[in-house]
Homo-oligomer: A and B are copies of this chain.
Amino acid sequence: MPKVSPNHKEQRKQAILDAAQSVFLGKGYQLATVDDIAARSHLSVGALYRYFPTKSDIMLTLLERKLGRTPQILERLTRDIAGAWPRLVRCIEIFVHALHVRHPSTGRFLIVAWGEAIQDNTVRQGLHERYSGLVGYLASIIEQGIMSGEFSPAADAPVIAAMLVGMADGVTLYWSTGTPGMDLRAMRLTTLQMLRTYLKPSD
């Protein structure tokens, strides 16, 4: 029988991940030291290594938890919405909301992850999977809209989905680093107008 409560371990892991994230956001992965992370999680280095075998594993776990689950979360939050267009609209609203209200740090972490993706196959893989998850889900919404007659049958669902995800991540790069003059609200509006004009020509 363990001396600590069974989820003590998970709590510690989470504390380390939180600490790691905030350190990574500040200096990126390479410049963040294990000591930094240990200090910020109020643990000794040694203790930290009981929960993660290498620094890299911290990054990978963070990647999985913070970014890898995005598609599933998005799906869970929107799958019950009736109608393809309302669902699409909701997806975009959720993205914008997350970017500057709910999880503003996730954007910065995405940048950190991309920085690592250059030389770390697993990170790259993780980002690619997130991409295909998101594109797949958005495309499925659009296809559903086409089939139900809500959207024009001429619309190329996977391509539009890819464009939306691309735009979302591109915008995230700039927004998360404080690029001046960005108007997220206006971008959301224009995006919706363009999509509506394109997808629902009968309107």
A residues at B contact (CB < 8 Å): 25-28, 30-31, 108, 111-112, 114-119, 124, 127-128, 131-132, 156, 158-160, 162-163, 165-174, 177, 179-183, 186-187, 189-191, 193-195, 197-198, 201
With a cutoff of 8 Å between Cβ atoms, the chain B residues found around residue A177 in the complex are 117-118, 124, 127-128
The CA of A195 and the CA of B195, in the complex, are separated in Å by 10
Interface SS majority for chain A: helix
Q: List 28 A-B contacts (CB under 8 A).
A: A27-B118, A27-B119, A30-B30, A111-B115, A111-B118, A112-B115, A114-B114, A114-B173, A117-B177, A124-B177, A127-B173, A127-B174, A127-B177, A128-B174, A128-B177, A132-B180, A132-B181, A158-B183, A159-B186, A160-B190, A162-B183, A163-B191, A166-B174, A167-B167, A169-B170, A170-B173, A193-B198, A198-B198
With a cutoff of 8 Å between Cβ atoms, the chain B residues found around residue A162 in the complex are 171, 182-183, 187
Contact: B119 with A26, CB < 8 Å?
yes
Contact: B159 with A190, CB < 8 Å?
yes
